[in-house]
Amino acid sequence: MSSRMRGDSPSGRIIAKHFLSDKVEHFTESVIREMTRQAMLHGAVNLAQGFPDFPAPAEIKQAAQQAVGADVNQYAITWGAKNLRNAIARQTQIWQGVVVDPEKEITVCCGSTETMIATLLAVCNPGDEVVIFEPYYENYGPDSVLSGAKPKFVKLRPPRDENGEWTFDEKELRRAFDRHTKAIILNTPNNPTGKVFSREELLLIRDLCLEFDVLAITDEIYEHILYDGTEHISMASLDGMRERTVTINGMSKTYSVTGWRVGWAIAPEKITNAIRKVHDFLTVGAPAPLQEAGAAALSMPAEYYSKLAEGYRLRRDHLLPALTGAGFRCFRPRGAYYVMTDISGFGFKDDVSFAQHLVQNIGVAVVPGSSFYRDPKDGARQVRFAFCKKPETLDEAVRRLGRLGGGN
């Protein structure tokens, strides 16, 4: 038997380890997507994966239908349809006061997921380090590994009481920066905590980026989903950051079209050129007719965005007291559409066994907290709920959670 054959079973069903990339050995499958599969299997209400279960705006769907009808059915320009890039540049100036050249500084990708990995592949070399706040959206870990960089985690600490803010320790953040640091990944408003980084916090991060010559890669996909008068501040709008920031955003969350896969990066020209090259070879381009619909979406009136945020505020304010009543300790989100909860009151071994109980016996799918931490122990007392769902979906989940018997 040759060494290449070692590990093969007679039926050929066991794949030898040497066929696999070492990089892939360093991360597991997405727990968020796995919970959606489990929700379907057990007929559970899916409050795990963050996608709306209500219709997308009619105007946007019409724009997509029209584009298909008008035969916008072949590749768009690799780095994005001109109409969409123009609309992104226009709105970025209106919303953030940041002037962007749509010809040289925007790359449209297949969702912000591809945008993030394309960006990291475009900027990272082996040995580079990437600073990530944790808990973090699970993709950032594998994204860093795939791009050859080493993730370095800095803790966001949960608030003491329900109305407090998640905070980080300035000294711990500083310690994470050194001569190997290539970038910091920042997600504000934040998934999974709902934290909206304040100007003061962003200035602190800005100062470290300048001192250590580090790039900021900011995922701002929840920029319009804000509560309690919080303000979204884009890193690129801060003095000194325009030249060292990649701003990532997309249609998924703002326009309730997570399945369309249209996202984008805004970056200085040289970085954009690198991202465009990676994107071109990864996927060639995002769906052409949906990019035209994206241009229409970005032309929605201002009240569309205030209604979107208000709709999610109502859902948040409906779900949180119900979760508290069912025995969860909630950390009130200031943005995005997730709530992290503390499950200590239920006395389960860990978050995974609790989430399994919820999905199999109670009929509600959530995401175990450990999937947002490098060390699973750090998330063993937490689960995340997504509340981007119809009121009746949330009601049904609350009704089922009543069976938990954790309320006072």
Q: How far apart are CA 381 and CA 404, in angstroms?
A: 16
Min CB(326)–ligand GLN separation in Å: 21
Q: How far apart are CA 359 and CA 82, in angstroms?
A: 44
Q: How far is CA 54 from CA 252, 393, 394, in A?
A: 13, 10, 12
Using CB under 6 A as the binding rule, whether residue 382 contacts ligand GLN is answered as: no
Select 33 or 199, whichever has its Cβ closest to ligand GLN. Answer: 33
Q: How far apart are CA 64 and CA 292, in angstroms?
A: 7
Select 38 or 113, whichever has its Cβ closest to ligand GLN. Answer: 113
Q: How far apart are CA 380 and CA 353, in angstroms?
A: 10
Using CB under 6 A as the binding rule, whether residue 32 contacts ligand GLN is answered as: yes
Select 80 or 192, whichever has its Cβ closest to ligand GLN. Answer: 192
Min CB(366)–ligand GLN separation in Å: 11
Min CB(51)–ligand GLN separation in Å: 6
Contact between 98 and 105 under an 8 Å Cβ cutoff? The reply is no
- Would you give the binding string for ligand GLN spanning residues 179-218, x where CB under 6 A is met? ------------x---------------------------
- On the CB side of 367, how many CA atoms lie within 13 Å of its CA? 29
Instruction: Classify the phi-psi angles of 29: left when phi > 0, otherwise alpha if psi is within -120 to 50, otherwise beta.
Output: beta
Count of residues near ligand GLN by CB under 6 A? 8
Select 102 or 189, whichever has its Cβ closest to ligand GLN. Answer: 189
SS3 content of the chain, % helix, strand, coil (to 5): 45, 15, 40
Min CB(17)–ligand GLN separation in Å: 28
User: Is residue 338 classed as helix, strand or coil in its secondary structure?
Assistant: strand
Using CB under 6 A as the binding rule, whether residue 40 contacts ligand GLN is answered as: no
User: Is residue 70 classed as helix, strand or coil in its secondary structure?
Assistant: coil
Whether the bond into 126 is cis, omega within 30 of 0: no
Binders of ligand GLN in range 107-126 (CB under 6 A): 113
Using CB under 6 A as the binding rule, whether residue 50 contacts ligand GLN is answered as: yes
Min CB(39)–ligand GLN separation in Å: 12
Using CB under 6 A as the binding rule, whether residue 371 contacts ligand GLN is answered as: no
Name the DSSP class of 43. T
The contact set with ligand GLN (CB under 6 A) reads 32-33, 49-50, 113, 137, 191, 386
